[in-house]
């Protein structure tokens, strides 16, 4: 068989290395079923925001030891996101991991690879969200064990809020967290609300709260902040995207940055 003749289009081609005006990197846990879907669902359809994901190894159980062990994986995972390409922000997608490791330690690992990018975590994003929504007293709802919940609540209060009520499912197995149904999350959120709370925080990036955040807000009549919603909000606003995003709670509906 003779070799084919190759042809070139007469106009050639042009190159565009700036795909995505606002570029967000995401460090998702390797067994997280939820965060990437949530981020893509919230991503505006105008093509301005692009999302690039890497996976961080994590254990089958969510406990202080497994959460703390992730710190050694963060720099290498960050290094796999668009090597040589621009990123405006990098989200570390673990609320309890941030609470356990500490924001400064997370940021140190991420910025060792991406010094130009803003390091966003669910905890620090929640702090910023509470301030933006003028929340001083909140209720907290988590899927975690009592021990992990205690660490997470302490990290939330470091942002200046008072947690007036804590509700949790006490789940140990990581994959069970992502399997909790949205209807169970709604029921849990309604039980977690408290008259003394000005808003509700729902923790965990592998928890399907974003899917029902607007419904929960409507039913309790208060702002609801979730790990994934707050992280996405802070990342895109930090990058410079200012257009309101509808359907995922009051936080994203406000014009930014």
The DSSP line for 117-185 is SEEE-HHHHHHHHHHHTT-SEEEEEESS-HHHHHHHHHHHHTTT-EEEEEEE----BHHHHHHS-HHHH
pLDDT of residue 257: 64
List of the chain residues with pLDDT < 50 = none
The highest-level CATH class for domain 126-226 is alpha beta
CA distances (Å), 86 to each of 22, 54, 113, 126, in order? 9, 15, 12, 25
- Residues of the chain within CATH 3.40.50.12500 domain(s) are 22-123+230-253
Where do the CATH 3.40.50.1860 domains begin and end in the chain? 126-226
Q: SS3 sequence, 61-102?
A: ECCHHHHHHHHHHHHHHHCCCCCCCCCCEEEEECHHHHHHHC
Give the architecture-level CATH label for domain 22-123+230-253: 3-Layer(aba) Sandwich (3.40)
pTM over 0.85: yes
- For residue 256, what pLDDT is reported? 72
């Amino acid at each position: 068989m003779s070799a084919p003749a190759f042809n070139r289009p007469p106009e050639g081609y042009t190159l565009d290395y700036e795909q995505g005006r606002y570029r967000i990197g995401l460090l998702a846990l390797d067994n997280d079923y939820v965060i990437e879907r949530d981020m893509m669902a919230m991503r505006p359809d105008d093509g301005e925001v692009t999302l690039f994901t890497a996976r961080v190894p994590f254990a089958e159980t969510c406990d202080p030891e497994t959460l703390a062990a992730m710190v050694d994986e963060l720099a290498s995972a960050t290094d796999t996101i668009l090597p040589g390409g621009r990123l405006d922000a990098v989200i570390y997608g673990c609320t309890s991991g941030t609470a356990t490791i500490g924001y400064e330690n997370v940021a140190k690992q991420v910025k060792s690879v991406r010094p130009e990018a803003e390091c966003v975590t669910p905890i620090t994003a929640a702090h910023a969200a509470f301030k933006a929504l003028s929340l001083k007293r909140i209720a907290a709802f988590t899927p975690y064990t009592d021990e992990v919940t205690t660490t997470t609540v302490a990290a939330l209060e470091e942002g200046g809020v008072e947690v007036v009520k804590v509700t949790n499912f006490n789940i140990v197995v990581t994959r069970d967290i992502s399997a909790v149904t949205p209807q169970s999350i709604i029921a849990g959120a309604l039980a977690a609300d408290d008259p003394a709370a000005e808003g509700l925080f729902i923790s965990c990036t592998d928890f399907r709260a974003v899917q029902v955040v607007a419904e929960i807000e409507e039913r309790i009549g208060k702002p609801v902040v979730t790990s994934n919603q707050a992280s996405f909000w802070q990342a895109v606003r930090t990058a410079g995207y200012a257009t309101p995003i509808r359907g995922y709670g009051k936080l994203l509906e406000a014009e930014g940055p």
